[in-house]
Each structure stands twice: as C-alpha cells, then as structure tokens.
Amino acid sequence: MVRLSRLLRLRKSGFDTPLRVSRFRYVAHGANSLFQNAEVEVVENFDGTCHLKSGNIIRLALDGCTNRPFYRIVVSKRTDPRDCEMEQIGTFDPMPNMLNEKLCSINFERLKYHLALGAHPVKSVRRLIGLSGFLPLDPTLLIFAEGLKRRRKIEELISSQGNATEDDESSNS
Amino acid sequence: MMSLRWRILFSLSSRRLCRTVYSGPDGLPDFTREYEKNTDTSWEARKLKNIRQRVIDKEKGKKFEDLEKIVDDEARRIAPLSHFIFSDDPAVCNKDLMLGQRMEILGNPSSDGKNNIKEKYSKSSNLDPDFIRPEVQEILKRIRGKDPKIIFKTKLERNKEMPKIQLLSDEQLKQKYEEALEAAEKFLEMPPVMTEREPIDEELAFDEKLDGYEHSSLVFTDISEDLNRNERFIVVRETNGKLRKATWEERDRMLQIYFPKPQRDILKPELFDDLTIALKKEFHENVLQQILIHFDPDSANYINLTKQVYDDIDEKGAFELLRSTRFFGGLAFYLTKYKSIDNLLIYFLHSKLLEEASDLINLHYLIKPKSEVSQQIQDIDDAVEKVKIFVANDATNARAIKLALNPFLKSHQKRTGKQRSVQ
C-alpha cells in the first residue's frame, strides 16, 4: 500500500520529470580544508564525487495584505514555515507600478556567500537571478518561454483562419 | 431568506451604521443611476456631475485655478535643509545609510586650510572647471554679503535645544558675536555648479527567446552595503528580452526607494511643472532650496530649473532676494559665464557697493579673459574707472550703466575740482 501523501506529491511534480536541476553544490575531493565554517559538511557519494551538504534554501516569503502580495527573498531551512528566515537577502514586488515596472532588489554579496556554502535556490528565485544577469538563464525559463511562443502562434493562426473564413463568407454572400 | 423580524432589525442597524456623517437630506448614497439623467437637478446630482467633468478635463490637460493654490502651498514650504550640506569626510558622503538612521551630516570645520573642493564631492569629474578655481571662489564669497539678520532669521522649526543664558562682559560679548559670524559660513556653503552628466546607453545582453514572456519590465538593484552611490548596479530587463543599464532618472528613483535622502520625494511636486506661478510671488529662495533637495546638481532638470529662476531674477532685477544666502554665488557665476553682468552691476551701483562691483568685473575677466583689458584692470584699484573700461569694451546695456555711474562721477568731480559734462 502506497501512502496518499506520496501519490499527491508525485501528481504535483509529474510522474515523468524530464528535467531535474541539480540540487547539490559539487565540490572537489578533499575540500574540507578550504572551509573554515564548522557548519559545512562535505559528503562523499558512491561515485567518489563530493558535494556540500546543507539544508539551506533561498526562496520567496510572502507578505502583504489581501489582494496585494509582496515577496521577500530569504535564506531559510526547508523544514521552517514559509515566513520564517535566517537572513533576508532582498525583495520582489510582483505587481507592476505606474510605469509598468516590477521592482526587485538583491544583495549580491550575501547571495554569493550563501551560494558558495551550498544553499539551493528555488525555481522562482533562480529565474529572477537569471533575468538580472548575475548568473546564466535558467533552462526552465527558456523552455517555458518557447512553449508560450508556440501557443501564441497557434492562437494567431486560428484567429487569422477564422477571419479569413469570415471574409470569404462576407465577400461571397 | 430572512424573516421579517431580522429584516427590520437589519435595516435599523444598517441605517445607524451608515448615518455617521450628515451629508444632506438622505444619509444614504444614491445607488440608482438616476444621476446620469439630466432631469435631476438636486444638489447631489450637480455635485457628482461636476466631479466627473473635472476628472475628464484634468485627463485632457486643462488647468484649474486650484493648481495655483497647490503650487503656492508647495512654494511656501520652508524646506529644512541641513545647514551643512556636504561634510568634509568623503567616507560619509559616499556611504549609503540604511533606512531609519538619521541623515544629519554635520560637518566639522575644515582646519589646516583644506579648501580643496575636489576632495569634498564624490562626483568631482563633473564640476565646472571655472567654478573650482580658488580665485573665483574667494570673489564669490566676498560678493555674497553677510547680513546676520538674514542668515540667522528664525525659521518655522522647533528648537532642538533650550536657549542658553549667560552673563558676559562687553568684551566677551564681542568675542561671541565674532565667533557666531565665523560659524555662519557653514550656513552659506555654496551648492556646486556642475556640467550636465552624460546619458547612459549601455546594453549588456539580448535574449530573443524571452520576447513576450513578461508584460512588464523588471528592474534589479544591488543592495549590498558599503558601496558608492554611483557604483551600484541598477539593471533593467525589458519585455523584448533586452538587458540594459538603467537611465539616470531610473537610477535616482531606485536609489531614493532603497537608500533615501531626507525630504526628497519620488514623485516630484507640481511646483516644477510651472515655475512662473511660484516666482510671481517672490519665493525664489524656497524654490531653489527645493530644487537642491529633489535633484542632483548633475542632472538636466536641476540645470534647467535653476536657469529659469536666475533668468527671472535677472529680468526683474530682484537681487536682494538672494543676497547673503548660499545661492548668490551660483547666480553670479551663471550670469558671468552664460549671460551679461549688466543688471547686477546696476544693482550694486544703486546700492552703493563699489567694492563688490570691482570684484564682479575682476570675475568677468577671469572667466572670459582678454589680453589687452585684463592687464589694465589688474593695475587699477579704483572701481569707477574699472566700470568705465568695462562699459567701453564688453557691456551690452551701456546707457543704463552710465546713468547709474553719474552720482559717483559728480562726487569724483567735486574732489578733483573740475567740471565735466556727462557723456
């Protein structure tokens, strides 16, 4: 018998996940000496490769009022509730302002620090970092954007065909 | 469905809740759309119609008389500029202080004769090279005047300290008076005159695949601490997929949001749209203070607006308004470099300030030198003859200057004993 929670989790993520971004920060063999921080652990896989083990996650914490979201970019543990934090790194405003801009602020110094010690940024934060130009673009973003374009082309074709048929009918009748 | 009893209770309670403000014969608003019909001539309908018409007109750009009242109130606002604009420590100028900290930059008096301006300002490359010269600075300080009544006049601010009462002898009083006059120079620190900054037009990347991904552009700012205000990265990703550096206006806005300067608004007040309304009522000093607060001295807005104010003063001849304030140096510099000194000279001669007139002419030939005339002027000390040479060579309004010179010539004649006709 399979647990219900496991099934729900699979249904959300998709039974076939074609793309999976690496969660770990891979590190050279014998890199223990480089890190002075005692909280850092270097774990050896069966392959012989090593990666940093840290439960830190960079994600968006939701604040604001009803019908008015406002996110804070935050470093926390996976098990913590959504709005708790160890450190705040920036902000993101998803509602565009009078000049049609969405404002985002990031403290790149602390970002570098936490990324180097093995924190894993979530999909939304990864996309923001890629759009800002600090790191290369996220592959999930590009795939989504290509899919968007294809869908819009199809919609345009359908609407243009619909208009063409209407014109033919009006001209004929 | 509510029963009868509940309906009665609800209606009674709702009326009580709504009728908090008496706004006419019926306390409740009119939810039926009878106001759209022109037959209704009650005062409520007329009020609503007027409001709608005003909104439509404002979107089209019509100006109302109420704008003058708003602009008037904004111009009367005495901006509490910190008496010390710029501190001597460049570290304090360049650091961005976080929200919540007080931005009172109190500068210590510059000892050791450190009058070098370049060390004070972080954007020293944009300073006007003629403004930096120490000879020019000395002349501007002398022209400005030092009336203690105007410098120490009371402003509508609460005193942060209780006034001190001391028993002093006459000599000690004189000493304190002189010390106060020396300290008054900090109240007269001149805002810098800079050339216009070059526009930013740099493209970092162009990703065509992101075309149409977002409907609005994204603006990213770097919040790391201990960074110079000009060195922060502020970057815009447009809906095309184009990554570019932000323009100067966007930069100013973002830096004001995340690292604000005191009393500066993000949406600039309506004063600056139409300065003529405020300048009619002679609020030049307040307007200049607000321009200093809201804009950087580099920007095009600052230069255009100060130009308007200086031109207005020049036409009217109202130089008294800025006398013995910190803005007089900028006025004099602008007039010598980009316009003519004639009106200023006439003002000095009418108010019998001959030393300032001679200093002005020295200034003019420092900034616009002529080989023949500048040597003559350095030799001569008498102000009247300097003015005559200036009139002969470089004056645009010679007749008015000669008229103003007449009383000095007669006294000059009386001393020498000759009688000459005015030419």
User: B230 to chain A nearest CA, in Å?
Assistant: 16
Q: Is B352 helix (H, G, I), strand (E, B) or coil?
A: coil
The answer to whether the beta carbons of residues A84 and A97 sit under 8 Å apart is no
Count CB atoms within 10 A of the CB of residue B71: 22
* Residue B61 confidence class, pLDDT cut points 50, 70, 90: confident
pLDDT in tens, A79-96: 888 888 899 999 999 999
Q: What is residue B397's predicted lDDT score, i.e. its pLDDT?
A: 85
Same domain flag for B285 and B401: yes
How far apart, in whole angstroms, are the C-alpha atoms of residue B361 and residue B342?
A: 10
Q: Which amino acid is it at B166?
A: Q
Residue A60 φ/ψ, nearest 5 degrees = -100, 125
Q: What is residue B109's predicted lDDT score, i.e. its pLDDT?
A: 32
* Residue B21 confidence class, pLDDT cut points 50, 70, 90: low
Q: Is residue B361 part of a domain?
A: yes
Q: Give the one of A101, A108, A137 whose C-beta lies nearest to B219's C-beta.
A: A101
Give, for B206, the enclosing helix (H) or strand (E). Answer: strand B203-206
How far apart, in whole angstroms, are the C-alpha atoms of residue B212 and residue B260?
A: 33
Q: Is residue B330 part of a domain?
A: yes
Q: Is B400 helix (H, G, I), strand (E, B) or coil?
A: helix
Q: Which residues in chain B have their CB less than 8 angstroms from residue A100's CB?
A: 215-217
Q: Which whole number is the average pLDDT over B318-345? A: 92
Q: DSSP code of A42?
A: E
Q: Which residues in chain B have their CB less than 8 angstroms from residue A106's CB?
A: 220-223
Q: What is residue B104's predicted lDDT score, i.e. its pLDDT?
A: 34
Same domain flag for B311 and B402: yes
User: A101 and B204: CB-CB below 8 Å?
Assistant: no
Tell which phi-psi region holds residue A118, choosing left (phi > 0), alpha (psi between -120 and 50) or beta: left
Same domain flag for B351 and B213: no
Q: What is residue B229's predicted lDDT score, i.e. its pLDDT?
A: 82
Instruction: Please give the residue range of the domain that contains residue B232.
Output: 203-246
- For chain B, how many structural domains are there in total? 2
Q: Which residues in chain B have their CB less than 8 angstroms from residue A104's CB?
A: 218-221
Q: Is residue B407 part of a domain?
A: yes
Count CB atoms within 10 A of the CB of residue A158: 10
Minimal Cα distance from B211: which residue of A?
A: A145
User: B89 to chain A nearest CA, in Å?
Assistant: 26
Pseudo-torsion of CA B207, B213, B216, B218, nearest 10°? -50
* Between B73 and B326, the higher pLDDT residue: B326
Chain A contact for B284, CB < 8 A?
Answer: no
Give yes or no for residue B97 having a pLDDT over 50.
no
Q: Is residue B396 part of a domain?
A: yes
Sheet holding A87-92, edge to edge: A120-121, A56-65, A68-77, A87-92, A101-106, B217-222, B234-237, B242-245, B203-206
Same domain flag for B221 and B304: no
How far apart, in whole angstroms, are the C-alpha atoms of residue B75 and residue B281?
A: 9
Same domain flag for B216 and B315: no
Q: Which residues in chain B have their CB less than 8 angstroms from residue A105's CB?
A: 220-223, 258
Same domain flag for B221 and B286: no
Same domain flag for B322 and B385: yes
Same domain flag for B314 and B236: no
Q: What is residue B7's predicted lDDT score, i.e. its pLDDT?
A: 60
Same domain flag for B303 and B359: yes
Provide the CB-side half-sphere exposure for B44 (13 A, CA). 16
* Residue A21 confidence class, pLDDT cut points 50, 70, 90: low
Chain A contact for B218, CB < 8 A?
Answer: yes
**Range list of H helices, B19-65:** 43-60
Chain B contact for A122, CB < 8 A?
Answer: no
Q: Give the one of B209, B216, B257 whose C-beta lies nearest to A96's C-beta.
A: B216
Q: What is residue B3's predicted lDDT score, i.e. its pLDDT?
A: 64
Instruction: Indicate the length of chain B as a whole number.
Output: 423
* Residue A112 confidence class, pLDDT cut points 50, 70, 90: very high
The answer to whether the beta carbons of residues A91 and B220 sit under 8 Å apart is no
Chain B contact for A109, CB < 8 A?
Answer: yes
Same domain flag for B352 and B228: no
User: A131 and B205: CB-CB below 8 Å?
Assistant: no
Q: What is residue B114's predicted lDDT score, i.e. its pLDDT?
A: 43
Min mean pLDDT across B9-23, B94-108, B187-201, B387-401 is at B94-108
Chain A contact for B220, CB < 8 A?
Answer: yes
Same domain flag for B305 and B405: yes
Of B210, B220, B242, which to mutate for an interface test with A (greatest number of A Cβ within 10 Å)? B220
Q: Give the one of B212, B216, B235 whose C-beta lies nearest to A100's C-beta.
A: B216
User: B235 and A137: CB-CB below 8 Å?
Assistant: no
Q: Is residue B321 part of a domain?
A: yes
How much is the ipTM here? 0.81
* Residue B67 confidence class, pLDDT cut points 50, 70, 90: confident
pLDDT in tens, A41-67: 888 888 878 888 888 899 999 999 999
Chain A contact for B211, CB < 8 A?
Answer: yes
Count CB atoms within 10 A of the CB of residue A73: 26
Q: Is residue B367 part of a domain?
A: yes
Q: Is residue B372 part of a domain?
A: yes
Beta strands in B7-46 (DSSP E): none
The answer to whether the beta carbons of residues A64 and A37 sit under 8 Å apart is no
User: B257 and A103: CB-CB below 8 Å?
Assistant: yes
Q: Is residue B253 part of a domain?
A: no
Q: Which of residues 396-415 of B touch A (CB under 8 A)?
A: none
User: A101 and B213: CB-CB below 8 Å?
Assistant: no
User: B217 and A102: CB-CB below 8 Å?
Assistant: yes
Q: Which amino acid is it at B79?
A: A
Q: Radius of gyration of chain A from Cα atoms?
A: 23
Q: Which residues in chain B have their CB less than 8 angstroms from residue A139's CB?
A: none
How far apart, in whole angstroms, are the C-alpha atoms of residue B128 and residue B117?
A: 11
In order, the DSSP letters of A51-112 are EEE--EEEEEEEEEETTEEEEEEEEEETTS-TT--SEEEEEE--S--TTSEEEEEE-HHHHH
Same domain flag for B280 and B412: yes
